[in-house]
């Protein structure tokens, strides 16, 4: 749920990183946090278990800069990926302006990816949102792993990207493909926001 404040001339949008457990959602945010200049980011908040698994969410506020005279901010959230945290996942998804689905490219994780995508669709629907209308981008993470362990981007496209949304191969630990992902979702969110406003 984007917020446009005409007094302070600020726009704030919420982007949620979704996907199965251990697919690299938190790593996406950690890498972005490490690479973005200090004056463009706020504090990263992580509500994690003692073993560093996301319990509730990670949160990273980013300042995109001034666009058309409005200071534009993105708030990046991750959901907990593990199946049994669905209640908290729904809470984090509330009011999302855009979703990045981080898939795990490993062959043995294909079912988990599909299940998580279906879960995303169901949780959005519960909030009255059609997955076809919300800005969505896919990221195929862990493409750096040995090729006999992973599915290639073309295979993943066929298995997961039936809505033909922008998709990127990535390696979150070294940062490959992360900015492309963020750029694509940013553009789609801003376009939707522009269209939604009264002319």
Partner 1 sequence: MTGAGSWSLGEQDHRRITEQLNDLLRESNARCALLVDRTGQLLANAGDQLQFDPTSFASLTAADFSANDQLAKMIGEPEFASLFHQGEKESMYLADVARRVILVVLFDQRTTVGLVRLRVKQAVGDLAKLFEEMFQRGADGKPALPSLLEGADDEIDKLFGD
Would you tell me which residues interact with partner 1 (CB under 8 A)?
A: 1-7, 11-12, 14, 35-37, 40, 42-43, 45, 47, 56-57, 59, 61-62, 64-70, 72, 75, 77, 87-88, 91-92, 94-97, 127-129, 134, 179, 182-183, 186-187, 190-191, 193-194, 196-199
Kindly tell me which of 3 and 83 has the beta carbon lying closer to partner 1.
3
140, 103 in Cβ contact below 8 A? yes
Burial (CB count within 10 angstroms: exposed 0-12, middle 13-18, buried 19+), residue 132: exposed
CB nearer partner 1, residue 10 or residue 157: 10
Our CB check for partner 1 shows the closer of 157 and 180 to be: 180
Count of C-beta atoms within a 10 Å radius of residue 136: 24
73 strand-pairing partners:
12, 63
Rank residues 39 and 111 by Cβ distance to partner 1 and give the closer one. 39
Closest CB to partner 1 among residues 139, 186: 186
136-141 and 167-169 beta bridge pairing: parallel
∠ CA 145-107-185 to the nearest 5 degrees?
A: 75
Closer CB to partner 1, 87 or 154, in the complex: 87
b/e sequence 29-63, b meaning 16+ C-beta within 10 Å: bbbbbeeeeeeebeebebeeeeeeebebbbbbebb
Considering the complex, what minimum distance in angstroms separates the CB of residue 145 from partner 1? 24
Find the shortest distance in angstroms from Cβ 100 to partner 1.
14
CB of 61 to partner 1, least distance (A): 5
Q: Is the dihedral of CA 184, 19, 39, 179 positive or negative?
A: negative
Q: How far is the CB of 139 from partner 1 (least distance, A)?
A: 15
The encoded tokens of residue 190 equal 């801003």
């Amino acid at each position: 749920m984007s917020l446009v404040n005409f007094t302070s001339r600020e726009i704030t949008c919420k982007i949620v990183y979704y996907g199965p457990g251990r697919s690299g959602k938190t790593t996406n945010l950690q890498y972005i946090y490490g690479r973005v200049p200090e004056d463009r980011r706020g504090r990263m908040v992580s509500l994690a278990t003692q073993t560093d698994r996301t319990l509730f969410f990670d949160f990273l506020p980013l300042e995109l800069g001034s666009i058309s005279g409005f200071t534009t901010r993105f708030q990046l959230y991750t959901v907990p990926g593990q199946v049994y945290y669905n209640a908290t996942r729904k809470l984090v998804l509330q009011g999302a302006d855009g979703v990045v689905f981080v898939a795990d490219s490993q062959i043995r994780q294909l079912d988990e990816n599909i299940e998580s995508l279906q879960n995303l669709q169901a949780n959005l629907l519960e909030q009255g949102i059609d997955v076809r209308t919300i800005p969505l981008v896919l990221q195929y993470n862990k493409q750096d792993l040995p090729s006999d362990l992973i599915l290639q981007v073309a295979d993943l496209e066929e298995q997961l990207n039936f809505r033909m949304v922008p998709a990127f191969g990535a390696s979150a630990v070294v940062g490959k493909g992360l900015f492309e992902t963020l750029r694509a979702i940013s553009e789609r969110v801003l376009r939707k926001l522009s269209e939604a406003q009264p002319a």
